[in-house]
Amino acid sequence: MDYLVRFVQVHESFRRAELEALADLHNIKLDVVNYQSNYPYCLVRLQSEAAARLLISRSILGQGIYELWGIGTSYEELHEDVRRRSGHKWSEFRTCSFRFSVVGFQYKMKTSEQRKIIESFSYLDFEGPIVMANADTEFFVFQEHDLSVEIPRMLYLCRFIANSDRDVITKYDLKKRHYISTTSMDSELALVTANMAQAAPGKMFFDPFVGTGSFPIACAHFGARSIGSDIDGRSIRGKPTCNLMSNFTQYALTGRWLDGFVSDLTNTPLRLDRVLDGIVCDPPYGVREGLKVLGTKDGSGTEAVYIDGKLAHLQEGYIPPKRPYSFEAMLDDILDFAARTLVDSGRLAMWMPTANDEDVEFAIPTHECLEIVSICVQPFNKWSRRLLTYRRLGGVAVPAATKTSKRSNGTGIHADDLNSFRKKVRDCAALYSNGILTR
Amino acid sequence: MKILTLNFLTCARKTCKSSPAAFPLHPRDAELEIVETEFNALFIQNILPRVEWDALKGLCTELGLTNVPPEAPEPKELFDTSIKSAGIDEKEKEPTQLTRDLHNLLLETTIQSGKLVCGNCGHEYAIKEGIANFLLPSHMV
Ligand SMILES: [Zn+2]
């Protein structure tokens, strides 16, 4: 059976990837019949209405799902297709109360025009009452236009099946959240990230740059439990009444926050066993201030430091020295960590800027134990960022010498040098031609 | 910090990662607190195979917690498999008392303050208000 997914017309490159992640999570066989990034309507083939409901139930970038009753490039063609495609269904809805709406995409319609369109479907011969609210069933005519073009490019008649989970975006809106920072991920994209990583009840997730908890909160919404760490102890601790934990309390998700601890991914205390179902993160990109990991710039500090005869690092308020760290080396470290700690088919969903401050594109990091599932791009005015989603392959062991160790890491002094500003742009052509990468 | 989380933590020093003595970390001067939290049998079921049981037993002994089964429970022990519940939906199966006890131990028993000590290098990590600090001084990185 064919169904129509009605997407929102934002974050276009994330929409199909989110839908496919959800189909995979729910073990739903999904065939995308027609998807175009310029339009909100996407035709899919699914095995049942139940599958359609399940598929859309936690989608953020889908608005709803509908049963396709007809499609055409003109009303003549549409009516013909409705008769052929759904004639056998009409009697089932003959006596239901119903509602009939006409929706234009990139097109404003007069009421009189809408009425005329609705009347043209009178051959469906519905006898039930027309109601505006709580109808037994709802029908939609979607009239899809190219921008500023009078003639529609595509017309659909559909029966409404179910809405998505999109309404929760406002529930988790950062404006209403008590504990946030300037780098907190907005609720819409945090929820999309949790979907890409397939957060779900019973699963354990980890965010190694947890900040104020945007991702673990989104994962908790979908039922997963998370641990988080951050090199900045202040963000983990927050204030007595306003902290990571209080964010979970605000949404009555307290039980889904396991623990936060202060640590750095390059010296993580997590045991490197296959214990995580998902990793979600937005690694800090800070060329100007120089990314920091523990250590000193010049390699000094190999001796313990004493203050008043006591070990400095055991004293109250001790701040460990930090050394600059290449962003790309950090991404390699994250992939290596993910390969070692994710269960089979566990997912890593990670954000990264598309290019550095000199507009040199970053390569997409790869790892032999991780398959790239999707690469989505969020464009801004002057820059863009990507959400990369990886899946841990089964049956592949992490090699003893990983490429992380091969990359020069920490040999330079300045963050600028380390971040390979002058490095030639690496070729992503293969990814583009395979359709993995969306421009 | 929950007992479950402690089962996933070892010493942060790279040189300790391969040493069996670095896991689990040993609690010292630990103040325990029971913090009630949402029960989810599915989570217990999924997480149980990932728990290092001997490490859990050792940790609990050191903390004076005695309610740890000597062997890791089998999946079938987590849900009531009596005739009464035969044939009902997977999601509606009744968790056993054992599952609730495991929930209480792993997710509700927490260390609020104290230290975690590496059995290999002896480094101490502080826990304050339930949050552990694993940042290392530079001579240990
Ligand atoms: Zn150690």
| Residue A262 CA, ligand 1 centroid: distance in Å | 16
Q: Is the pLDDT of residue A60 over 90?
A: yes
Rounded to the nearest angstrom, the minimum Cα separation between B18 and chain A is 10
Say if residue A439's pLDDT is above 70. no
Q: Which of A14-18, A40-44, A292-296, A415-419 is predicted least confidently?
A: A415-419
Q: Give the pLDDT score at A161.
A: 98
Q: What percent of chain A has pLDDT over 90?
A: 75
Q: pLDDT, tens digit, for every residue of A176-227? A: 999 999 889 999 999 999 999 999 999 999 999 999 999 999 999 999 999 9
Q: How far is A113 from chain B (nearest CA, A)?
A: 50
> A211, A181 in Cβ contact below 8 A?
yes
Q: Do A269 and B10 touch (CB under 8 A)?
A: yes
The DSSP output letter for A297 is T
> Residue B116: its pLDDT value, please?
98
Quick check: helix, strand or coil at residue A41? strand
3-state secondary structure of B19: coil
Q: What pLDDT is stored for residue A433 in this prediction?
A: 44
Residues of B in contact with A230 (CB under 8 A): none
| More confident site: A295 or B74 | B74
The pLDDT confidence band at residue A288, using thresholds 50, 70 and 90, is very low
List, in sequence order, every residue forming a beta bridge with A141; answer none if it has no partner: A102, A157
> What would the mean pLDDT of B97-107 be, rounded to a whole number?
97
Q: Which positions in chain B have a beta carbon within 8 angstroms of at least one beta carbon in chain A?
A: 1-2, 4-5, 8-14, 17, 23, 25, 37-40, 42-43, 45-47, 50, 107, 124-125, 129-141
In this prediction the ipTM stands at 0.95
Question: Per-residue pLDDT for A1 more than 80?
Answer: yes
Distance B23 CA to ligand 1 centre (A): 9
A contacts of B79 (beta carbons < 8 Å): none
Domains along the sequence of chain A with CATH: 2-163 (3.30.2130.30), 168-429 (3.40.50.150)
Q: How far apart are CA A345 and CA A327, in angstroms?
A: 26
The one-letter amino acid code at A56 reads I
- Tens of pLDDT, residues A344-385: 999 999 999 999 888 889 999 999 999 999 999 999 998 999
Q: What is the DSSP letter of B94?
A: P
Neighbour order of strands in the sheet with A204-207: A257-262, A225-230, A204-207, A276-281, A342-353, A384-392, A370-379
- Look at B139 and A302 and tell me if their CB atoms are within 8 Å: yes
Cβ contact, residue pair A201, B5, below 8 Å: no
Three-class SS of residue A293? strand
